[in-house]
A and B are shown apart, each in its own frame.
Chain A
Amino acid sequence: MEYAERLSNVTVLGAAGKMGSGILLLTALEAADQMLKPGNREKHFVVNAVDVTSSALPELMKYIRTQVLKAAEKKTVLLRKLYADRKELIENSDIIDAYIDDVMGIIRPGTRIEAAYDSTLIFEAVSENAELKARLFRQIDENNAHKPWFFTNTSSVPIGGLDKEAGLEGRILGFHFYNPPAVQKLVELITIASNSGEMKEFALQLAKNMRKVIVPSNDIAGFIGNGHFMRDALYGINQATALAKEMPLHEAIYAVNRISQDFLIRPMGIFQLIDYVGVDVVRFIMKVMNPYMANEDLHSPLLDRLFDLGVKGGQYADGSQKDGFLKYEKGRPVSVYNPDKGEYIPIVTFGSQVEAWLGELPGSAPAWKNLVKAPDKETLAAIAFDNYKTMGTHGALLALQYARRSREIGMKLVSDGVAATAEDVNTVLLTGFFHAYGPINDFVV
């Protein structure tokens, strides 16, 4: 089956979710672009947007329409060529409208799994539940005559297990987007030995057409992205717990968040990142990964505690941040949660005290947004870390320890065979997590 034919009937499962909606958008755009190629005009393309939450579908379609409009406005130069034979489409606005109609015409929203029975490709972005995923795959596969391919967006469940559970005989691979899929450049590609060469080639071509950076990962729970993130998060949580012997827990959380953001020159502190992903989601991913981890307990009692107290983080439908470890106003942290007291303590009441304890952030540590734009990022980061080595402040010491642990986690992913190279680990952190320098480097040692 050639590339365009494989895309002629696609189903996205969990299409109304955070990840599913982005995957739906990218898939529909790619299907439309195939449809508009001169040789494919007679072919019929369908992308089924399947989600159990019927009430979420109208919003989903609005989101897709807005995003397709933006995409069309960006590529009007190309679209004018693709629609050159449509005499009635003269102005850019005519062409953009026609493209939106064409993309929207491909998408069929619905709640019924049966839509996938005619599909040749199934993208799965349902909740991170191995049993549910396997059950859906099996049901679809048993009712689908096309021997479809299953691309799962799981960030943590091993692919080999799903393959076996659902009886797919190698017709499944991991195609893991980062949030939000429409923006984030990274896709982790997890293949298994029984995948056909044709399937792997198709996956690479699709990712390339979606303009993604592909990093291959071995089929080990958590892969590279969560393999690093979960351990990094656990380290940050444990660092805060340890610090809580010297200061109240909310101050310790604030301190570690500041170290992992400003001292480490990352886009977000570790607790803000946990909130962004969701306290509940991080806890859940650890739970999914933990059974596969030998000699390691990927589990945090503090996350359990927050979860039990109903403090979950994550995002509202409009993309704004829900309160988790931190409380946010206009996207900025203003208070820190203290589980002992069950309340948020305003940063203004203790922030300067913690900062005094940490010691001054040296001028050689640039803000992340400046570092990430600098042409000589690595050199600048190295200067900052060299400074930490001689400063002797709490902040500098904890930052060095944090960075060294992050490096160790990265190197273990290579030695465990999750990542093929140190460069792959760094690429995941640079593109998937927007770090300004890779964790595996020489200057934090």
Chain B
Amino acid sequence: MIAGYNTISMGTGRKEFNPKKERPGLEHYLKEAGQGTLQQIGGAGNVDEGVVGNFMAARFNKQAHLGAFLGMIDPQLRLKPSTRVEGACASGGLALVTGIKSVLSGSAEVVLALGVEVQNTVKAIYGADILAGAGWFQRRKEGHAYFFPGQFSDRAGVYFEKYGREKTRKAFARWYRNAVENARLCPTAQEYENKTADLEALALTEPNPKSFTDHLNVFDCSKVSDGASAIAIVTEEGLKRCGVAPNDAVEIAGIGHAADDLTALPADPARLDTVAHAVKIALESAGITAGDLATVETHDCFTIAGILGVEAIGLAPQGKGADFVLEGHTARDGKIPFNTTGGLIGWGHPTGATGVHQAVTIWEQLTGKAGAAQISIPAEKPYGLSINMGGDDRTVVAIVYKKSA
């Protein structure tokens, strides 16, 4: 993978964001991200095909058929093959997988992979309806007004009961603090300008079941975001064609892609089984263990998902993910830095773009392009992992990236 590009994550927290004023739409973000990548690969003429990950533009923006926006990004992309893929919040991950498969099949040497979502077109209470489409609609009626916060609040409730509420809420607060502190190092992050002095104290605000969920507060939640990300997936031949130096590329070392039955309920709400399964396949196909990872971008749509992600990767046993976070191991100076530009809680969560954004972040870290957010990548651990989750642990794309030798 080469030539990653992220637009800003637009929404509450950004100075430019004013809910009462008209804002840029899908076209703006697709263009900016797409052109951002094309500029780094010698122009659109080098691209064989495109793939666009998007979740719910059909409802947020009343716009379908996103594959056919490719030609708008650059006239040279007109008439080239292009596909839109959807797997809820894993849509971006699916765009990557689709691009990787095209490259592996030999049908393309260079694929432009994009992810986009523009969610601030509706108030959060209606956005919750739209995002609930990532769950089984037959269960919407019994769900919470804020459907997904409700689902993950239930998971948090089970985790509290099994492993202790106090330490877990503290771990949530630490997760939030890490997320915002990392976001402050990344100019495109939604929480880049967050000035709160005591982030953990704020995050320990008691959840209010009357206005929100039983076990989570708003600081436990990812952001409502507009944004797009793009990256190019290339063969070695494609790399040469684009004129990009090998050390500006990351190698895709392994993939785990799994989808579980949308109508089934989790066997144990305190576990992310599909994530665990996809990560296992990704690590195995890369021929490495979790101990070889220098950094992880995990799908922390909620703090509880961040902690369950730590456990699903196998870095901590069940029930100990909270301790692992509290001991500082996931912080940027810890054993294994997580979500180094803020993740979904700090950087933002433009749903259909998130999977691509994660890949761009790992690409930046492994090629030394992360700017102020740069972490050191030990020579003996040249790997990064991204986990992109759709719905309540239903579709998962895990990818292992390797720094080029």
Contact = CB atoms under 8 A, between A and B. Distances in A.
A312 to B, nearest CB: 31
Contacts of B132: 91
Given A78-B210, A91-B132, A73 B144 contact: no
Given A77-B210, A77-B212, A78-B210, A92 B141 contact: no
Interface residues of A, number: 16
Interface in B121-141: 123, 125-126, 128-129, 132, 137, 140-141
A115 B129 CA distance: 41
Residue of A79, A92, A93 with most chain B CB atoms under a 10 A cut-off? A92
Contacts of B105: none
B125 A92 contact: yes
B145 interface: yes
Contacts, number: 34
B145 A90 contact: no
A93 B129 contact: yes
Given A78-B210, A92-B145, A73 B125 contact: yes
A87 B141 CA distance: 8
A92 B129 contact: yes
Nearest to A80: B145
A76 interface: yes
Interface in A70-99: 73-80, 87, 89-93, 95-96
A180 B97 CA distance: 56
A91 B140 contact: yes
Contacts of A92: 125-126, 128-129, 145
A197 B125 CA distance: 42
Interface in B175-222: 209-212
A42 B210 CA distance: 26
Q: How large is the interface on B (under 10, 10 to 19, 20 to 34, 35 or more residues)?
A: 10 to 19
Given A92-B128, A92-B129, A76 B140 contact: no
A93 B126 contact: yes
B146 interface: yes
A76 B125 contact: yes
A80 B144 contact: yes
A77 B211 contact: yes
B140 A90 contact: yes
A68 to B, nearest CB: 14
B141 A76 contact: no
A89 B145 CA distance: 12
A51 B85 CA distance: 57
B109 to A, nearest CB: 45
Contacts of A80: 144-145
Contact of A77 (B126, B137, B144): B144
A90 B144 contact: no
Contacts of A90: 137, 140-141
Nearest to B138: A90
B123 A77 contact: no
Contacts of B146: 77
Interface string B21-46: 00000000000000000000000000
B195 to A, nearest CB: 15
A76 B212 CA distance: 9
A169 to B, nearest CB: 41
A67 to B, nearest CB: 15
Nearest to B133: A91
Contacts of B211: 74-75, 77
B226 to A, nearest CB: 21
Contacts of B129: 91-93
A275 to B, nearest CB: 26
B125 to A, nearest CB: 5
Contacts of B145: 76-77, 79-80, 92, 95
Interface string A84-122: 000101111101100000000000000000000000000
Given A95-B145, A96-B125, 7 more contacts: A73-B125, A77-B144, A77-B211, A80-B145, A90-B141, A92-B125, A92-B145
Interface of A: 73-80, 87, 89-93, 95-96
Interface of B: 123, 125-126, 128-129, 132, 137, 140-141, 144-146, 209-212
13 contacts: A73-B123, A73-B125, A75-B211, A76-B125, A76-B145, A77-B144, A78-B210, A90-B137, A90-B141, A92-B125, A92-B126, A92-B129, A96-B125
Task: List the 9 closest pairs (A to B, CB-CB), nearest first.
Answer: A91-B129, A76-B145, A77-B145, A90-B141, A92-B129, A80-B145, A73-B125, A90-B140, A76-B125
